[in-house]
Chain A
Amino acid sequence: MDTVTYPESKVVRFIEENFIPLRVPSDSKPHAEKFNVKWTPTLITLSPEAQEHHRTVGFLGPEELISSLLLGLGKYHYENDRFDEALARLAQLVDGYGQSGSAPEAIFLVGVCSYKRSHDPKPLKAAYEKLSALFPDSEWTKRAYPYRLL
């Protein structure tokens, strides 16, 4: 991460604009134990109240890191019932990083957030249809499978 991903100017800009960056050694006490860290790098999106919203383990290149952080931002807002903010972040991910590993979960969450905002089930079905077309083998397509009936 230090030689490939973090030096990239767009990664620096994205993190500085959207996060308070915090680095802690993986054996630091009490944090590593509190967050059950077993391998590095472990990256966690935390609320300012120290609530965990998203986690990745292992190396991520610049594009995968930014898309994963967008998913983290989306989940941070979604889990605090800020659906408009969540949808904005998830749309940024799907539109800009649609082939990334984070995209299927983002599409799933777009459906869920849209439903929770409007109580209209159509976005859930739309999420399944988009997932089955773009990522037929994804875990998130399987999780959305019941929505085909809506």
Chain B
Amino acid sequence: MTTEIKWRTEMDDALCLGQKAGKPILLDFFNHN
């Protein structure tokens, strides 16, 4: 069972996966400071 979100960190990687899976991307801009 999935216990945490497996965030991608590269835009191109996520867009490519989205095209293959037919899913949109949830893009989270977060404050890392």
Query: Which A residues fall within an 8 A CB radius of B?
Result: 1, 6-7, 9, 11-13, 15-16, 18-28, 31-32, 35, 37, 40-50, 53, 69, 72-73, 76
Contact = CB atoms under 8 A, between A and B. Distances in A.
A50 B25 CA distance: 8
Classify the interface of chain A: helix, strand, loop or mixed: mixed
Nearest to B15: A48
Interface of B: 1-11, 14-15, 17-19, 21-32
Contacts, number: 124
Contact of B29 (A7, A13, A24, A72): A24
A111 to B, nearest CB: 23
Contacts of A42: 28-29
Given A20-B14, A20-B17, A20-B18, A45 B26 contact: yes
B8 A21 contact: yes
Given A12-B5, A26-B31, A41-B29, 15 more contacts: A11-B5, A18-B23, A21-B7, A23-B7, A24-B11, A43-B29, A44-B29, A45-B27, A46-B18, A46-B25, A46-B26, A48-B19, A48-B24, A53-B24, A69-B26
